[in-house]
């Protein structure tokens, strides 16, 4: 009997304990409990699809089309006769489109070596925190460039010698609302190189970053270390491209204004053939303008 009483008291105690939270929980607490598990994805790691010259992990989302106009003035050290470079201009035009949220394709045309290019950028990993945790964003870029110049007889005989192929893995992390960094291992194969001494295969490592100054303005730096074991033997002195820039965002446009030692705006050009040096003022003032159009609905 005594045992029975104890058991009953225990059960009663359990019931009381069970029913107390049910009664005292207000709607606020219930909302917290039932709100979906939070996985937040990092967005806008960079303001634009380029950090300065090179690709960032950003892409056009599905059915969004970007029209890009990139322009580099001449070299600063060309003096007053050339108005410190302003008299010259190199232009790159591009149309880039998001087939899906994770795949972007694009075509471009540059006055630099009359180059045409086409690329695809695939997002493989997305940075997220919470329920699903992923510390980095990872994308792959594949690009083909075709030089259109008619001054090289070898290129006129054989079309394939105009082509070069760019492969990049873009690894980025948005550390906080202001700071994002990116590593860009790069492999470029060039079917034809300027001299016998140049390597057909070129390896480079890009380092890029952005720091947001205000909500709509950011400071960018981009550097590519190009591995050239035979640099001393080459007839031309090549430099590693270093660029600093500012992004200004106004609604549907992003303006990028930069100083860079590269003339070209495609990987094959600015990684493979940068001949200006910061040390001798071989730098260019330049800008990129990006306009996005939406084809949704």
Strand partners, 51: none
Minimal distance in Å, beta carbon 18 to another protein?
Answer: 7
Minimal distance in Å, beta carbon 94 to another protein?
Answer: 17
Task: Give the chain's length.
Answer: 297
Minimal distance in Å, beta carbon 208 to another protein?
Answer: 19
- Give whichever of 58 and 113 is closer to another protein, judged by the CB atom: 58
Q: What CA–CA distance (Å, rounded) separates 79 from 76? A: 7
The single residue listed with the structure tokens 């001494």 is 197
Q: What CA–CA distance (Å, rounded) separates 273 from 279? A: 17
Q: Which helix (H) or strand (E) holds 58?
A: none
Q: Which helix (H) or strand (E) holds 97?
A: strand 89-100
Contact call for residues 202 and 208 (beta carbons, < 8 A): no
Minimal distance in Å, beta carbon 250 to another protein?
Answer: 6
Minimal distance in Å, beta carbon 101 to another protein?
Answer: 8
- Give whichever of 7 and 230 is closer to another protein, judged by the CB atom: 7
Task: Give the interface with another protein as residue ranges (CB under 8 A).
Answer: 4-5, 8-9, 11-12, 15-16, 18-19, 22-23, 27-28, 30-32, 34-36, 38, 40-41, 43-44, 60-62, 64, 98, 177, 215-216, 249-252, 292, 294, 296-297
Q: What CA–CA distance (Å, rounded) separates 148 from 112? A: 9
Minimal distance in Å, beta carbon 43 to another protein?
Answer: 6
- Give whichever of 11 and 197 is closer to another protein, judged by the CB atom: 11
- Give whichever of 16 and 232 is closer to another protein, judged by the CB atom: 16
Minimal distance in Å, beta carbon 105 to another protein?
Answer: 16
Exposed e or buried b for every residue in 273-292, given b needs 16+ CB within 10 A?
bbebbbeeebbbbbbbebeb
Q: Cα dist. 77→143, 224, 261, 277 in Å? A: 32, 22, 11, 10
Q: Is 92 exposed, middle or buried (0-12, 13-18, 19+ CB in 10 A)?
A: buried
- Give whichever of 9 and 91 is closer to another protein, judged by the CB atom: 9
- Give whichever of 20 and 149 is closer to another protein, judged by the CB atom: 20
- Give whichever of 198 and 249 is closer to another protein, judged by the CB atom: 249
Q: Which value, in Å, is the radius of gyration of the alpha carbons in the chain?
A: 27
């Amino acid at each position: 009997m005594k045992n029975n009483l104890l058991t009953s008291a225990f059960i009663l105690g359990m019931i009381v304990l069970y029913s107390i939270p049910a009664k005292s929980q207000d709607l606020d607490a219930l909302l917290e409990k039932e709100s979906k598990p939070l996985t937040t994805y990092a967005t806008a790691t960079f303001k634009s699809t380029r950090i300065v010259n090179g690709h960032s992990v950003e892409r056009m989302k599905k059915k969004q089309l970007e029209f890009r106009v990139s322009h580099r003035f001449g070299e600063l050290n060309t003096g007053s006769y050339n108005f410190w470079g302003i008299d010259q201009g190199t232009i790159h035009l591009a149309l880039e489109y998001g087939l899906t949220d994770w795949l972007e394709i694009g075509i471009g045309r540059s006055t630099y070596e009359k180059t045409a290019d086409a690329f695809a950028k695939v997002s493989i990993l997305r940075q997220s925190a919470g329920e699903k945790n992923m510390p980095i964003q990872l994308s792959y870029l594949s690009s083909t460039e075709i030089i259109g110049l008619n001054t090289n007889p070898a290129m006129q005989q054989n079309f394939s010698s105009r082509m070069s192929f760019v492969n990049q893995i873009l690894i980025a992390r948005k550390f906080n609302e202001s700071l994002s960094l990116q590593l860009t291992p790069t492999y470029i194969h060039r079917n034809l190189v300027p001299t016998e001494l140049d390597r057909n295969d070129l390896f480079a490592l890009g380092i890029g970053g952005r720091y947001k100054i205000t909500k709509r303005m950011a400071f960018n730096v981009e550097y590519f270390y190009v591995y050239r074991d035979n640099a001393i033997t080459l007839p031309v002195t090549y430099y590693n491209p270093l660029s600093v820039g500012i992004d200004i965002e106004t609604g549907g446009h992003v303006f990028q204004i930069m100083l860079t030692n590269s003339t070209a705006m495609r990987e094959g050009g600015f990684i493979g053939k940068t001949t200006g040096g910061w040390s001798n003022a071989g730098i260019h003032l330049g800008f990129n303008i990006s306009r996005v159009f939406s084809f949704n609905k």
